[in-house]
C-alpha cells in the first residue's frame, strides 16, 4: 500500500487536536489529523454517561483564540454538560472548516522513526500508511478506560459497560437494578444522576473520595453578555493562577487566622461554584498535614450533615488521604443520593467483590442481583494513550520500554530518543494538574512556535537533549514531593490497580505541580533563549 505523506500528522481530534490543526493549517503547513473514533470530540465524544459535564467553568474551558467565536457562543450552564460540549467542538470545527483536514476511523497502531530519513512511518489498524516529518500527539490524559480484573467479568448476562463506552442509544433504567462500581470523579457524577432514575441502585465502593459541591446553574443572556465583556480579564486571571482557573489562592496565611475565621472562609468557599473550595483555599492545606487535617475534618462534617444515616456517612468519609490530595471530584447532590430508599452503599472494604456472575456481583458477604453493571473504574491516565500505540524511536527502542517505570520528558512536550514527536499536554506537562484547555492552548502555541523555528532553521530533526530531560524530570519530582499528594493513590501519582505493571506504593511522576505561571515562565524562557535544551539538526 502506498504511503500518504504530510509534513505533520496530528494524532487525536479532541480539544487539543482541534486547536493544533487550526494553528498548523492557518500557517499553510501540510497537516492532517488521524482520529481513531468515527467523529471528533475526544473526551466529549466518548463520555456520554448521565451526569458527564465540565467541572471547570464553561467560559474558562472554551477556546480563547478567536474573539468572533467568543462573541458567538452562548454557554447555557456554568458547568456545561456533555451534549453541549460536543456541540461546541463541532461548531468550532465547522466554523473554521477543520473537518477537511481530519480522517476518522483512523486508529494509529504503530509509529516508527527513521534516523536516516528523519521521518515517522505510521501504520493504522485498517492497513493504511502515513509518513510525516513531525508527529504531534494529542492523545488526551483520560483516553484509555480500564476495567477491573474480576473473575467472571464476561459471564454477566445483562448490560455491562465502562462509563467511557456508555451506549449511544437511549437506555431505559427506570425499573432496572443497577450496580455502579467505583466512586471516583466519574462514578460520583453518574451515581448522583442515576439515583432517582433507576429502580434500584447499588454503589460498590472500594474506598471513598472527598468531594465538594459543583454549585452549577444556568447562565442567562445578560450574564453571558457580561462574561463576553470581560473575557480578556477572565483569561488573564486563569494565566495568573496556579491551577489555571479564575480562583486564586487565599494568601492571608492559614495560621494568621483563628479557627473560626478559617471555618467562615470555608463556609463561603463551599457555596461557591467549581474548584473554589480547593483553588481559592489556603496553600497550607496542600503542604501542611495539620492544616490539611483541619480542612479534612471540616469537609467530613459537611458530609455528616448531608447524609441521614450516620453509619453510611462514616463510610463515605476517606481515611487514607486528606482533602484535595487526590483529584477532587465535584458533585451535585451526590451525598443526598444515599438518603433515598432505592440507593444502597456496598462497602468493598468490608466485603470485597469475589467475582462477577451471570446474574450480578458476588461479594464476600452476599450476592447482589443486577440487571445492569456500570464500571466507573477510571483510566490508565496520561500515559495510557501512548501505551496503546507501538512507538519505536531511535535505534528501535520502544516508548513503552523507555517509560516502563514512569514517563521521562522535557517539559511534557518532547522525549529524548523520540525526535520530531511533539506532545500536546503530554506526561509531566502542567496540563494534568490544571484547567486542561488553558494548558492545551499554551502547549499548542509553544509547540507550533518550535516547529516554525525548526523550519526556519532548516532543521528536520528536533529532539530534547538528554541532560535537559533529566533536569526537567528532577524538577517534576521536586514540585511533586513538596505537596501532600505525594502520599496519595490515584492517577495524579500514576497508580491504577487495574493496570498490569502498576505497583502499589510506586510513584510514576506524571504531571508537573509547580503551577501555571511558573511552567509558562519556564517554557517561554526556553523559546526566548533559542531552545538551548533542544537539539535541532
**Tens digits of residue pLDDT in 243-294:** 999 999 999 999 999 999 999 999 999 999 999 999 999 999 999 999 999 9
Residue 214 near residue 273 (C-beta atoms within 8 A): yes
The span from the CA of 421 to the CA of 24, in Å, is 15
Q: Rounded to 5 degrees, what are φ and ψ at 84?
A: -70, -35
Cell of 299: 469537609
Is residue 63 within 8 Å of residue 220, measured between CB atoms? no
Q: What's the start-to-end Cα distance of the chain, in Å?
A: 31
Name 143's Cβ contacts closer than 8 Å, sequence gap at least 6.
12, 14, 42, 43, 46, 379, 384, 385
- Check whether 503 has a pLDDT greater than 70: no
Q: Does the predicted model carry a pTM greater than 0.85?
A: yes
As a residue count, the chain comes to 537
Work out the pLDDT band at 504, boundaries 50, 70, 90: low
Averaged over 431-437, what is the pLDDT? 87
Residue 372: how many CA atoms within 13 Å on its side-chain side?
21
How many Cβ atoms are within 10 Å of 355's Cβ, its own excluded? 13
Contact between 179 and 371 under an 8 Å Cβ cutoff? The reply is no
Ramachandran region, residue 105 (left: φ > 0; alpha: ψ -120 to 50; beta: rest) = left
Residue bearing the bigger pLDDT, 433 or 112? 112
Instruction: Provide the pLDDT confidence category of residue 495 given band limits of 50, 70 and 90.
Output: low
Residue partners of 173: CB distance under 8 A and separation at least 6: 194, 197, 198, 199, 372
Nearest to 63 by CA among 33, 34, 27, 88: 88
Q: Is the dihedral of CA 447, 16, 188, 74 positive or negative?
A: positive
What lies within 8 Å, CB to CB, of 92 at 6+ separation is: 18, 63, 69, 98
C-alpha cell read off for 194: 442515576
Assign 494 a pLDDT band (cuts: 50, 70, 90): low
Nearest residue to 193 via CA among 221, 163, 222, 223:
163
The three-state secondary structure class of 515 is coil
pLDDT of 493 > 80? The answer is no
Strand order in the sheet with 353-356: 353-356, 360-363, 367-369
Which is it for strands 108-114 and 119-124: parallel, antiparallel or unpaired? antiparallel
Confidence label for 508 from pLDDT (cuts 50, 70 and 90): confident
pLDDT reading at 502 higher than 70: no
Amino acid at each position: 500500500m502506498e504511503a500518504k505523506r504530510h509534513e505533520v500528522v496530528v494524532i487525536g481530534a479532541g480539544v487539543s487536536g482541534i486547536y493544533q490543526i487550526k494553528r498548523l493549517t492557518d500557517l499553510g503547513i501540510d497537516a492532517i489529523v488521524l482520529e481513531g473514533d468515527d467523529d471528533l470530540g475526544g473526551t466529549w465524544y466518548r463520555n456520554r454517561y448521565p451526569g458527564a459535564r465540565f467541572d471547570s467553568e464553561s467560559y474558562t474551558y472554551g477556546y480563547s483564540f478567536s474573539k468572533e467565536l467568543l462573541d458567538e457562543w452562548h454557554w447555557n450552564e456554568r458547568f456545561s454538560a456533555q451534549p453541549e460540549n460536543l456541540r461546541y467542538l463541532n461548531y468550532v470545527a465547522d466554523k473554521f472548516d477543520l473537518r477537511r483536514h481530519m480522517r476518522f476511523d483512523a486508529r494509529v497502531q504503530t509509529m516508527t522513526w527513521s534516523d536516516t530519513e528523519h521521518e515517522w512511518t505510521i501504520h493504522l489498524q485498517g492497513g493504511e500508511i502515513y509518513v510525516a516529518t513531525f508527529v504531534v500527539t494529542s492523545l488526551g490524559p483520560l483516553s484509555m478506560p480500564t476495567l477491573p480484573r474480576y473473575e467472571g467479568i464476561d459471564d454477566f448476562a445483562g448490560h455491562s459497560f465502562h462509563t467511557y463506552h456508555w451506549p449511544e442509544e437511549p437506555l431505559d433504567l427506570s425499573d432496572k437494578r443497577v450496580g455502579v462500581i467505583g466512586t471516583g470523579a466519574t462514578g460520583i457524577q453518574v451515581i448522583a444522576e442515576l439515583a432517582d432514575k433507576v429502580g434500584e441502585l447499588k454503589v460498590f465502593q472500594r474506598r471513598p473520595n472527598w468531594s465538594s459541591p459543583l454549585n452549577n446553574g444556568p447562565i442567562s443572556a445578560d450574564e453571558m453578555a457580561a462574561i463576553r465583556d470581560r473575557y480578556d480579564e477572565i483569561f488573564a486571571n486563569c494565566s495568573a493562577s496556579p491551577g489555571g482557573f479564575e480562583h486564586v489562592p487565599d494568601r492571608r496565611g492559614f495560621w494568621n487566622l483563628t479557627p473560626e475565621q478559617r471555618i467562615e472562609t470555608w463556609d463561603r468557599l463551599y457555596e461557591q461554584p467549581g474548584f473554589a473550595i480547593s483553588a481559592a483555599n489556603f496553600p497550607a492545606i496542600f503542604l501542611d498535614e495539620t492544616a490539611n487535617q483541619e480542612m479534612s475534618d471540616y469537609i467530613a462534617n459537611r458530609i455528616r450533615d448531608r447524609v441521614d444515616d450516620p453509619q453510611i456517612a462514616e463510610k463515605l468519609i476517606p481515611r487514607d488521604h486528606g482533602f484535595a490530595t487526590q483529584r477532587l471530584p465535584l458533585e451535585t447532590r451526590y451525598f443526598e443520593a444515599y438518603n433515598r430508599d432505592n440507593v444502597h452503599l456496598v462497602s468493598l472494604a468490608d466485603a470485597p467483590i469475589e467475582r462477577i456472575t451471570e446474574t450480578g456481583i458476588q461479594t464476600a458477604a452476599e450476592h447482589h442481583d443486577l440487571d445492569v453493571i456500570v464500571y466507573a473504574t477510571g483510566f490508565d491516565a496520561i500515559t495510557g494513550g501512548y501505551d496503546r500505540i507501538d512507538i519505536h524511536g531511535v535505534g528501535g527502542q520502544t516508548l513503552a520500554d523507555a517509560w516502563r517505570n514512569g514517563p521521562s520528558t522535557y517539559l511534557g512536550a518532547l522525549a529524548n530518543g523520540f525526535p520530531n514527536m511533539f506532545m500536546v499536554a503530554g506526561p509531566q506537562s502542567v496540563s494534568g494538574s490544571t484547567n486542561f484547555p488553558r494548558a492545551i492552548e499554551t502547549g499548542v502555541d509553544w509547540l507550533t512556535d518550535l516547529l516554525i523555528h525548526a523550519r526556519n532553521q532548516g532543521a528536520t530533526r528536533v529532539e530534547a537533549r538528554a541532560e535537559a530531560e533529566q533536569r526537567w524530570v528532577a524538577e517534576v519530582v521536586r514540585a511533586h514531593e513538596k505537596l501532600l499528594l505525594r502520599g496519595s493513590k490515584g492517577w495524579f501519582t500514576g497508580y491504577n490497580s487495574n493496570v498490569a505493571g502498576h505497583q502499589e506504593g510506586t510513584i510514576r511522576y506524571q504531571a508537573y505541580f509547580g503551577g501555571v505561571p511558573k511552567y509558562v515562565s519556564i517554557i517561554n524562557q526556553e523559546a526566548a533563549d533559542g531552545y538551548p535544551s533542544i537539539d535541532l539538526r
